[in-house]
Amino acid sequence: MQRVRFRFRHLHLICIVVCIVAVAIGIQSALTAMVYAGLSAKLPIYSVQTEEKKIAISFDCAWGVEHTDAILRNLAAADVRATFFMVEFWAKKYPDYVKKIRYFGNEIGTHSATHSYMSKLSESEIEAELATSSQAIESVTGEKVNLFRPPYGDYNDLLIETAQKSGYYTIQWDVDSLDWKDLSATDIALRVINGVQPGSIILCHNNGLHTAEALPLILDTLINRGYTFVPIGELIYRENYTIDHAGRQIPNTAS
């Protein structure tokens, strides 16, 4: 009799475990379905799905200009056009560099007005950050700004939605050079070269200590491997696209 009770309790315990596992699997399946149905958190563009070996290199401008001339020289020597994201106070402090960057054929986007954590801001504060920072750039270049990179890579749904409503594509990256950590030129170059795939967006900084030194190796190696560098605005899709769970922009294909 005791053996029967033990078996019954054991069977009852197994049933409970099976039910728990089934519920967990169901929850996981539901979450996965939500992601693929586009019901998850909104994402910026980290990279682009493309069959062409096109990539983009970008530079965030917030502090100083000491290494900017060398970066521009190395880009020009390789006939590469990049995208520079500028904070408002940087653009106002260095208008000659805004002109110089654009003169060499590079693209310019906003990196906010104050370089703050914008996920903590209200909708009206976000709108103001985008408007005044873009105006500071446009007053120098005479060209409209429609690319935006959030400081620190920090964002939430409100930021993405507000930027989109204001006419901006929010841009992240899928290859981080970590040049802001003052890595050696070789380490920076290897991180970028080994991380790139078609459609990649590379993150660098205009005032990284060894960024300019790393550029010739990055550019020459990737060009020799068949990659073409284009500004981010020429890499991304402007319409008829979706963004997957990894932030990869995918063109919608006709059915």
Query: 49 and 251 in contact (C-beta within 8 Å)?
Result: yes
CA distance 172 to 175: 9
Task: Return phi, psi of residue 167, to 5°.
Answer: 95, 25
Picking from 59, 98, 36, the residue whose alpha carbon sits closest to that of residue 232 is 59
Has 60 been annotated as catalytic? yes
- Calculate the dihedral angle through the C-alpha atoms of 88, 93, 97, 99, rounding to the nearest 10 degrees: 70
Given the residues 157, 205, 220, 244, the one annotated as active site? 205
Which is catalytic among the residues 60, 111, 115, 210?
A: 60
Angstrom distance (rounded) from CA 108 to CA 143: 9
Q: Count CB-CB contacts under 10 A for residue 30.
A: 11
CA-based nearest residue to 84, from 147, 175, 163: 147
Catalytic (active-site) positions: 60, 205
